[in-house]
Structure 1
Amino acid sequence: MAKVFQIIFILSTLVKLINAKRASNLTVRPTELAIVVGNNDSFSLQSKVPLSEPVTINLYSTHPGIATVEDEALLNDTTKVFVEIQSFEVGRTDIVMNTSSWEIGSLDSTFLRVSVIHSDVLSVLIIVVGWIYFVAWSVSFYPQVILNFQRKSVVGLNFDFLAYNLTGFIAYGIFNIGMFWIPHIQDQYEEKHPRGVNPVLINDVCFTLHAVFITAVTIIQCIIYERGKQKVSTVCKGLLIVAWLFALITLLITAFSHERLITWLDYVYYFSYIKLGVTLIKYVPQALMNYKRKSTDGWSIGNVLLDFTGGSLSLVQMFLLAYNNDDWNSIFGDPTKFGLGFFSILFDVLFILQHYVWYRGNTPKLENKERYSEIGSDEPLLNGSSGAYYASVE
């Protein structure tokens, strides 16, 4: 028995030594660098542990035509060493490293991402545009909430749109929280994309949590305020049931197969696909409802204008980024992201035309009751401020 424990101890010690050898003891600062084309810049290397002797770090640029770096750097103890980078052409390259020193360990996952750009001014503009559209999207929920409160009614606001929105934001929130806060999922992403950057930032998480909260507030308004005969459609209920059943079944497969069939990273990505699907269809019920009523009464145009502003600026930012980095694949290489943004803007334009052109000033009248019954609508028919009237469709 003592020998068994001895063997276990030796094996565990070996595992620790192997892991220690594989772990990197080199600090690279910064880990990302933007340089205006034709300029030079530098980054630092520093050992995390005292060195018994000087160590040579070999450096390579994956795209030397974009930027080059000194061939090697010599580390002495924990002293910080600066390495110069020279840029030649707009684009992106990675500075990768290796060493034979066992004290430094493996540098397989240690690298510096370099972006050679056209202009620093554009970089600042890209950040400013990003914050503007972030604020526009965040604020876009409130005009509808305020309108509902002022009218004490949600007549004219489509319930299918709200149901899709809530599911979409919850799904997107699960994806963002998993990618940003759960170490196991982050490790799987890093393993799958060793030189990739986590696509989820803290503002993504905050935006999603806020969106779920304010959408829930709007749904509460639908419960307590006048809503007429409006309700969530059977088609909407069916699609949402399918979406959540899919999420539940894949959850069980992931958990009980111990990730042999589906990893947790794959599982959270399924929620991003649910969000994509919801975004494709969520505007349709509201647009059809406006068409049937020949009115946008009860549907906040402020929400639409802010959403249009946010969506347009997000596309502007994508184009500015693509130009500044000569990376047009970031737009056309990801048609899903670009297509969904463009698709949302098209619906915003449709809503703007409905509100300001086609149905401008229209309020559903009592005399239209017969026409509403013919097209099968059970939407409320408002007659100015005199009260609510409903088309009865049995």
Structure 2
Amino acid sequence: MRVVSYALVLAVCFSSFGEIRGDVKISTHDLELTKGDEHNVSLQISNCKEEIQLIVQHDDIVNINPNVIPVENKTETLVTLVVKAVGAGHSEIYANVTNREDLQDVYLRVTVNKIPSLDTISTVIGWIYFVAWSVSFYPQIYTNFRRKSVVGLNFDFLALNLIGFSLYSIFNIGLYYIDEIKVEYNARHPRGLIPVLLNDIFFAVHAIIATLITIIQCYIYERDGQRISLTAKGIMSFFGVIILISAILCLSNVVHWLDFLYICSYVKLTITLIKYIPQAYMNYKRKSTVGWSIGNIFLDFTGGMLSMLQMIINAYNYDDWVSIFGDPTKFGLGFFSVLFDIFFIVQHYILYRATNYEENP
């Protein structure tokens, strides 16, 4: 899983005119500020014969001084820009130079928050839910080992989980390690950051391994004749056809491999939405949660709640509520998972607390 950040982008783009192309270098590409802070940024300008005007997209978020750089009859000029954060959020500052093309590699990313300590709290919360989600696989593994049985654990849930985390791993590894895909991503998002961290890869791969261990237990221990249902096989076959067609289109150069990774992520999101349904229905049919680890649910619930809390803290600290309400996918998935966790807790402690279910000897 990946921990979410919100950036204030300060992009200063320059270009050239005529036979002599001006060269502009900026002293840093990344800057972290708190509302009210000021920071100096240096521009080294060579062979630039035109006045440069800096246009602020949102002057209620960031100011820059000077915003006009006059013509200098010098081969090389060093200009100090004072960047002041007047509000949390994200904005862009453009360089307007007549008859010049922008240089996309000259930019400054600035992160502006309201309260610095909230950043620390957000980081701590991120690591706690990362650990909670990573450890959440093991109560079920231990329960299976202790009972020497997987009766009560739904095989459809396991199969969908394995496919979902496999696709999630493909997405993370592709974006993090494959240069061709990273180049394509940077071409589409020139000032964006690769949205995958190393811990995202670790979590996804670890989830696959833990799920495979659980699946191996299903072959070793008593399972009372349970198999993957025809419905789940149909759903997985449908997803398989989508992935296969997408791969063929990539190999035929119809779409890019980055698009293939996005398709993998969309399938994974869909699986996350439906994977809990078979287990919940199985508990209902058996009128029992015996064999389904409640420890797994508590850890998943903890991770989901803290994940949403982190998103809310970051949205407040960076005035970026659009990240939640404008693109509700991640928040919605976390909320949906927490709702299922609450439903499982109700099944375990209220609905089927006094169960009459008995396992076959």
Query: What's the TM-score bracket when you normalise by the shorter of the two chains?
Result: 0.7 to 0.9
Q: 1:162 to 1:183 in 2, by over 3 A?
A: same
**Structure 2: how far apart are the matches of 1:115 and 1:89?**
11
Quick one: which of 255, 268, 273 aligns to 2:266?
Answer: 273
**Structure 1: how far apart are the matches of 2:150 and 2:238?**
27
Percent identity between the two aligned chains:
49
1:62 aligns with 2:57: yes
**Structure 1: how far apart are the matches of 2:22 and 2:245?**
37
Residue 22 of structure 1: CA displacement? 9.8
**Structure 2: how far apart are the matches of 1:23 and 1:143?**
62
Structure 1 counterpart of 2:176: 180
Structure 1 counterpart of 2:14: none
Root-mean-square deviation (CA), in Å?
Answer: 2.9
**Structure 2: how far apart are the matches of 1:237 and 1:26?**
56
2:150–2:217 Cα contact (<8 Å) kept: yes
Q: 1:62 to 1:195 in 2, by over 3 A?
A: farther
Structure 1 counterpart of 2:166: 170
* Segment drifting more, 306-315 vs 91-100: 91-100
Listed one character per residue, the Cα deviations across residues 138-164 of structure 1 (whole Å, up to 9, x for unaligned) are: 111111111111111111110000000
The list of structure 1 runs, each at least 4 consecutive aligned residues, that deviate by more than 6 angstroms after superposition, is 21-25, 51-58, 76-81
Residue 85 of structure 1: CA displacement? 1.1
1:28–1:44 Cα contact (<8 Å) kept: yes
1:297–1:363 Cα contact (<8 Å) kept: no
Listed one character per residue, the Cα deviations across residues 206-239 of structure 1 (whole Å, up to 9, x for unaligned) are: 1111111111111111111111111100110111
Structure 2 counterpart of 1:324: 317
Structure 2 counterpart of 1:118: 114
Structure 1 counterpart of 2:339: 346
Residue 199 of structure 1: CA displacement? 1.5
Structure 2 counterpart of 1:205: 201
Structure 2 counterpart of 1:92: 90
1:364 aligns with 2:318: no
- For 2:33, the aligned partner's letter is I
Query: Where does 1:38-53 land on structure 2 (aligned, <5 Å)?
Result: 38-43=36-41
- For 1:337, the aligned partner's letter is K
Structure 1 counterpart of 2:284: 291
Listed one character per residue, the Cα deviations across residues 301-352 of structure 1 (whole Å, up to 9, x for unaligned) are: 1110000000001111111111111111110011222211111110000001
Query: Where does 1:120-269 land on structure 2 (aligned, <5 Å)?
Result: 120-256=116-252, 258=253, 261-269=254-262
**Structure 1: how far apart are the matches of 2:81 and 2:103?**
17
**Structure 1: how far apart are the matches of 2:23 and 2:106?**
7
**Structure 1: how far apart are the matches of 2:315 and 2:346?**
31
Q: 1:96 to 1:109 in 2, by over 3 A?
A: farther
**Structure 1: how far apart are the matches of 2:178 and 2:216?**
31
**Structure 2: how far apart are the matches of 1:270 and 1:24?**
40
Listed one character per residue, the Cα deviations across residues 241-294 of structure 1 (whole Å, up to 9, x for unaligned) are: 1111211122112102x2xx2111111100001101101110000001111111
Residue 196 of structure 1: CA displacement? 2.2
- For 2:85, the aligned partner's letter is S
- For 2:103, the aligned partner's letter is L
- For 2:178, the aligned partner's letter is I
Query: Aligned with 2:90: secondary structure?
Result: strand
Listed one character per residue, the Cα deviations across residues 115-148 of structure 1 (whole Å, up to 9, x for unaligned) are: 3321001111111111111111111111111111
**Structure 2: how far apart are the matches of 1:296 and 1:96?**
59
Q: Which runs of 5+ in 2 are unaligned?
A: 1-19
The TM-score, its normalising length taken from structure 2, stands at 0.84
- Structure with higher Rg: it is 1
Q: 1:360 to 1:124 in 2, by over 3 A?
A: same
- For 1:357, the aligned partner's letter is I
Query: Where does 1:71-86 land on structure 2 (aligned, <5 Å)?
Result: 71=67, 72=69, 83-86=81-84
Residue 41 of structure 1: CA displacement? 2.5
- For 1:253, the aligned partner's letter is L
- For 1:175, the aligned partner's letter is F
Residue 179 of structure 1: CA displacement? 1.2
Aligned residues: 337
Structure 2 counterpart of 1:369: none
1:336 aligns with 2:329: yes
Structure 2 counterpart of 1:35: 33
Query: Aligned with 2:316: secondary structure?
Result: helix
Query: Aligned with 2:63: secondary structure?
Result: strand
